[in-house]
A and B are shown apart, each in its own frame.
Chain A
Amino acid sequence: AQSVTQLDSQVPVFEEAPVELRCNYSSSVSVYLFWYVQYPNQGLQLLLKYLSGSTLVKGINGFEAEFNKSQTSFHLRKPSVHISDTAEYFCAVSGRGNTPLVFGKGTRLSVIA
């Protein structure tokens, strides 16, 4: 079975500063990794995903994440955040072979003007 740990429940950051949201996963099999974003009063939407190949994955809105197999991590980064990035971010893992996503508990990113 897979599991996901998001190490920070809340991350405040000033506008135009860089941010990193941490995610560690546990799995005994090869996995696919995802980051979803939830804006206030909306459903989740896909930000980016790692399937295979290059360990650096670029997503929408300037976000990127790096898959690190040895550290079982998939941290999300953005070099310069905007007010509009204020949202909740969920890391998720899927084991290969018809298994549903397992979500972390989320990290609330608050961008301060």
Chain B
Amino acid sequence: DAGVIQSPRHEVTEMGQEVTLRCKPISGHDYLFWYRQTMMRGLELLIYFNNNVPIDDSGMPEDRFSAKMPNASFSTLKIQPSEPRDSAVYFCASSLIPGLPTDTQYFGPGTRLTVL
């Protein structure tokens, strides 16, 4: 398996623009997680899905952020409109079933977002 795939790897955009980050989880994994990493706040869980259904989006910072998982092999994280404070590295991760011995999250390489 190729692992978790994220695109783009780098994104530079201007304030106010819409940004869409994409993720393909490992085939067969039931859970998908979106994280944001910054120097100030560390690694934050934004939202996670189970079988394509959002389970907990309490980490989504505000309404400008939205995430979807239309099928088992694809998820998007959208920011509209983007702001400079959204600049961060966004990670996608997938796992089988959290809370079980098989629980290991596999992370993608991340998308480095810069909002000017």
List residues of chain A with CB under 8 Å of any chain B CB: 32, 34, 36, 42-46, 49, 51-52, 90, 94-106
Contact = CB atoms under 8 A, between A and B. Distances in A.
A102 B50 CA distance: 17
B110 A94 contact: no
Interface in B19-53: 31, 33, 42-43, 45, 48, 50
A100 B45 contact: yes
Contacts of A96: 99-100
Contacts of B99: 32, 94-99
A49 B98 CA distance: 13
* Interface bracket on B: 20 to 34
Contact of A43 (B45, B97, B107): B107
B37 to A, nearest CB: 9
Given A32-B103, A101-B98, A106-B43, 11 more contacts: A32-B101, A43-B110, A44-B105, A44-B107, A46-B106, A49-B104, A95-B99, A96-B99, A98-B97, A101-B105, A103-B43
Contact of B109 (A43, A49, A100): A43
By CB atoms of chain A within 10 A, which of B50, B93, B104, B106 has the most?
B104
A44 B42 contact: no
Contacts of A103: 42-43, 45
A105 B45 CA distance: 12
B51 to A, nearest CB: 12
Contacts of A101: 45, 98, 103, 105
A32 B45 CA distance: 18
Interface string B77-116: 0000000000000010100011111011111111000000
Given A90-B43, A94-B99, A94-B103, A100 B48 contact: yes
Given A94-B98, A98-B98, A43 B42 contact: no
